[in-house]
Amino acid sequence: MKILNHSNILGLEKFYRRTFMNAISGYRSGTLIGTKSENGQTNLAVFNSLIHVGATPPHLGFMMRPTTIERHTYENIKKTGFYTINHITSSIHKNAHQSSAKFPRNVSEFEACGLTEEYLEDFHAPFVKESVIKLGMSFAEEHFIKSNNTIFVVGKVEYIAIDENIVQEDGFIDMEKADGVTIVGLDAYYSGQQLGRYAYFRPGDKITPILS
Amino acid sequence: MKILNHSNILGLEKFYRRTFMNAISGYRSGTLIGTKSENGQTNLAVFNSLIHVGATPPHLGFMMRPTTIERHTYENIKKTGFYTINHITSSIHKNAHQSSAKFPRNVSEFEACGLTEEYLEDFHAPFVKESVIKLGMSFAEEHFIKSNNTIFVVGKVEYIAIDENIVQEDGFIDMEKADGVTIVGLDAYYSGQQLGRYAYFRPGDKITPILS
């Protein structure tokens, strides 16, 4: 085992530390956040920090570094109140990665990265046509994380468009069937293989697979 | 495509909605959080909401529902200031799932779930011996999420113990080599297969794999 304490971590070479510390949280979500500015300019950016905040009412959260590349996304969310979250599939993961580049403000990453803008009903923000799980979100609250000058953004799920073939009878979504990807660090994309799904466990139970 | 708006979501049958909305955020981290109470009782619980907050100084965050099963973990973190985050491997994912059960306060989930308590140097909280990526954390800040009455907990990475065979020359950690798992919803565990790792992308570039 390699052992590092806090000062060993701070003493690591800058790029090594960035790569290492970004990977140490392990597997993360792989999503594209779509927004549209007040004057109609669309924006798309890859995010790997989506987390479940609560199911009733449904809210999801993600981390933002609003002073970097992500600032167009942040500005659009704050000004318009809406954004979309689109799950990355393995078929579009290379396109998704390209959206992490610093494109000028007047370039839409949809076009630059070979992905298709899609509008569903009257929802303000653009969805990614190629995605099979698309969420329309409204801004709910934000929390400034003073430890790192980052922002935790929480949104309400207003709208869901999902391929019904990947939703099981009890509501479970099989991400392997959805061709979903998970991200490690800033630049590595993985597909998933289900090891098992297990019934709610009570002390004294045997572990019981849920078969689908 | 199946389409649902916010009121359709709220109208779903309760258990279906819980399963569906917990899965809709896709792949998440798979970790075990270890704590020890002031009177020495250890506790271990599976968490699927770890996210990277920042690399300099290194901080990670996760979501808590302190009124449910997770309350022992929350109480111990708030009272002692310390906790550990241990990545779940496929070899221990069934043990990890068992820790989601409601064990009485005087039962340690380590013993009940067949996992081994490990103490590293003088760090207060217990690590999981079977894990290959172990983080010693100190409580940094918490944010109450009023949309769902949940808490976003941010901690500083004080200590890392990691199998050096899974760390690449540039600091990247290959989660496939680490035998890591990613969780979907409340009960499904997946292993990962790397699709590719790609160089930082600049407008006009071709997408370039990083070979390791």
The average confidence (pLDDT) of chain A is 94
Provide the pLDDT for residue A170.
96
Residue to mutate among B5, B17, B27, with most A CBs inside 10 A, is B27
Angle (nearest 5°) at CA B87 between B21 and B201: 75
Confidence label for B195 from pLDDT (cuts 50, 70 and 90): very high
Query: B192 and A192: CB-CB below 8 Å?
Result: yes
- DSSP-assigned beta bridge partners for residue A69: none
What proportion of chain B, given as a percentage, has pLDDT over 90?
87
Query: B180 and A87: CB-CB below 8 Å?
Result: no
Confidence label for A69 from pLDDT (cuts 50, 70 and 90): low
Provide the pLDDT for residue B101.
86
Average pLDDT of span A43-71: 89
What proportion of chain A, given as a percentage, has pLDDT over 90?
87
Query: A5 and B159: CB-CB below 8 Å?
Result: yes
Average pLDDT of span B91-95: 97
Q: Give how far A94 is from chain B: nearest CA, Å.
A: 7
Residues 6+ apart with CB under 8 A from B52: A21, A22, A25, A28, A48, A49, A63, B60
Average pLDDT of span A144-168: 97
If phi > 0 it is left, if psi is from -120 to 50 it is alpha, else beta; for residue B114 that is left
pLDDT digits (tens, 9 = 90+) for A110-135: 999 999 999 999 999 999 999 999 99
Average pLDDT of span A41-48: 95
Average pLDDT of span A181-205: 95
Provide the pLDDT for residue A100.
87
The average confidence (pLDDT) of chain B is 94
Provide the pLDDT for residue B70.
67
Q: What is the DSSP letter of B90?
A: G
* Residues of A whose CB is below 8 A from B174: 184, 188
Residue to mutate among A2, A12, A20, A24, with most B CBs inside 10 A, is A24
Query: A63 and B61: CB-CB below 8 Å?
Result: yes
Task: For residue B163, give the chain A residue with the closest CA.
Answer: A1
* Residues of A whose CB is below 8 A from B163: 1-2
pLDDT digits (tens, 9 = 90+) for B135-180: 999 999 999 999 999 999 999 999 999 999 999 999 999 999 999 9
Could you tell me which of B49, B182, B212 has the C-alpha nearest to residue A180? B182
Query: B26 and A160: CB-CB below 8 Å?
Result: no
| Type and span of the H or E element at A182 | strand A181-184
Could you tell me which of A156, A187, A176, A201 has the C-alpha nearest to residue A48? A187
